[in-house]
Amino acid sequence: MSGVWPYIAALIPSAGVGFLFWLVIKNMIEGDRKERLAHSQWDAAHPETPPVSDNSKDADK
């Protein structure tokens, strides 16, 4: 059993970096999902209004 510890000690840093990578990617995807949801809710609450025509050009004639 004593011959296994050096291998375990060599794998722990790689496992830690892998865990950090997974954590960062998971939070990025979750943040993107929440941002898309908030954007769609804002779009639903604020319907697009038609552009207002500028009649100042006609007033000059």
Structural domains in the chain (count):
1
pTM above threshold 0.95: no
59: in domain: no
The residue segments making up the domain with residue 19 are 1-44
Dist CA 32 CA 24 (whole Å): 12
> pLDDT by residue for the chain (61 residues), tens digit each?
789 999 999 999 999 999 999 999 999 999 999 999 999 999 999 888 777 777 766 555 5
In sequence order, what DSSP letters do the residues of 1-61 get, joined into one string?
A: -TTTHHHHHHHHHHHHHHHHHHHHHHHHHHHHHHHHHHHHHHHHHSPPPPPPP-THHHHT-
Does residue 54 belong to any structural domain of this protein?
no
